[in-house]
């Protein structure tokens, strides 16, 4: 990551920083990167061994601090002053990350109210959801939020390795397996749709109604056994009549907020 000139010195005004698979943090002069030195790293500005776990990600920078994580390690905050990093992190996240550790992203109002965002993707190989974490940029030991705190309500899609969150217009976007999740300050959450009758075995055709208590909600349902319909789904206008056994997953959505999936009924 290229650092701003404000953290450089007269000797090294243009700096760049990066981690490594060995967990070493490297600080280099962009104008004279030093070449390879088999004897050590004396030809570069600075190197800090064992700074992180294996690093497959990129750091973030905010207020003379970089935020960097490594596999099997915590997210760490290193301050820079006088053109050099303090080799001891000033703060660490409360918990660590498996493979692959996240590339952090910072959102802020200028130099104030900084939030460090990181996506945990440990469950990528088993289809488990990603976890979005938010930390206080002044002290990342203070976790402000994570998407697993409210049960399954805030779960993004299945985790994907090397996912980087995107912050835009007051929202945070997290890509996942087959879906994009959007996080923001919601005024409220969409109520669970109510199905009547709520499942059962019937010997004749029945009329099923699906309602939702949230104003402005659009309700969608399927009749083709798909749990997460994409191309083939129907918008409920009033009620529907079922004349044979069907499996009807449904979802409700309000405005621009992402759909909230509910349990299927048959």
Rounded-to-integer distance, Cα 146 and Cα 71, Å:
19
Q: Helix or strand or coil: residue 107? A: strand
Task: Tell me which fold the domain 5-183 belongs to.
Answer: Methylamine Dehydrogenase; Chain H (2.130.10)
Model pLDDT, residue 212: 80
- Residue 198 pLDDT: 78
- Give the helix, strand, coil percentages of the chain, each rounded to 5: 5, 45, 55
> How many whole angstroms from its chain centre is CA 236?
32
Q: Which pLDDT value is given to residue 210?
A: 82
d(CA 109, CA 170): 11
Least confident span in 12-21, 60-69, 132-141, 208-217:
208-217
Short-list 72, 70, 66, 106, CA closest to 86: 66
- Residue 239 is predicted with a pLDDT of 53
pTM of the model: 0.71
**Residue the block writes with tokens 């912050």:** 167
Task: Please say whether the beta carbons of 198 and 178 come within 8 A.
Answer: no
Backbone angles phi, psi at 126, to 5 degrees: -120, 10
Q: Is the separation of the CB atoms in 25 and 78 below 8 Å?
A: yes
- Separation in Å, CA 133 to CA 48, 136, 184, 211: 26, 10, 13, 34
Can you name the residues that pair with 106 across neighbouring β-strands?
Answer: 116
Question: Six-digit token pair at 212?
Answer: 């939702």
Residue 68's SS3 state is strand
Check residue 215 and give its pLDDT. 78
Q: Given this model, what pLDDT does residue 265 score?
A: 41
Measured CA to CA, the distance from residue 144 to residue 225 in angstroms comes to: 39
Structure letter (DSSP) for residue 191: P
Q: Are 121 and 82 in contact (CB under 8 A)?
A: no
Contact present, 90 and 77 (Cβ < 8 Å): yes
Per-residue pLDDT reduced to its tens digit, 233-246:
455 544 555 555 55
Angle at 180 between CA 176 and CA 184, to 5 degrees: 120
């Amino acid at each position: 990551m290229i650092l701003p000139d404000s953290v450089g010195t007269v000797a090294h005004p243009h700096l760049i920083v990066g981690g490594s698979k060995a967990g070493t943090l490297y600080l280099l002069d962009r104008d004279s990167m030093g070449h390879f030195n088999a004897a050590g790293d004396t030809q570069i500005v600075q190197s800090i061994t064992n700074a992180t776990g294996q690093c497959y990600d990129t750091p973030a920078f905010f207020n003379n601090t970089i935020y960097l994580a490594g596999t099997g390690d915590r997210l760490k905050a290193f301050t820079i002053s006088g053109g050099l990093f303090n080799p001891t992190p000033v703060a660490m996240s409360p918990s660590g990350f498996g493979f692959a550790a996240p590339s952090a992203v910072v959102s802020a109002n200028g130099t104030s109210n900084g939030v460090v965002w990181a996506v945990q993707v440990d469950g990528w190989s088993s289809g488990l959801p990603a976890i979005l974490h938010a930390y206080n940029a002044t002290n990342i030991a203070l976790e402000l939020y994570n998407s697993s705190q409210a049960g399954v309500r805030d779960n993004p899609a299945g985790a994907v390795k090397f996912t980087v969150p995107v912050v835009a217009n007051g929202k945070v976007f997290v890509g996942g397996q087959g879906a994009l999740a959007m996080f923001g300050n919601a005024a409220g959450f969409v109520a669970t749709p109510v199905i009547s009758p709520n499942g059962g075995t019937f010997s004749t055709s029945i009329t099923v109604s699906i309602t939702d208590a949230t104003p402005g909600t659009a309700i969608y349902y399927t009749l083709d056994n798909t749990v997460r319909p994409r191309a083939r789904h129907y918008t409920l206008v009033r009620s529907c009549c079922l004349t044979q056994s069907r499996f009807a997953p449904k979802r409700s959505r309000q405005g621009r907020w992402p759909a909230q999936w509910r349990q299927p009924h048959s």
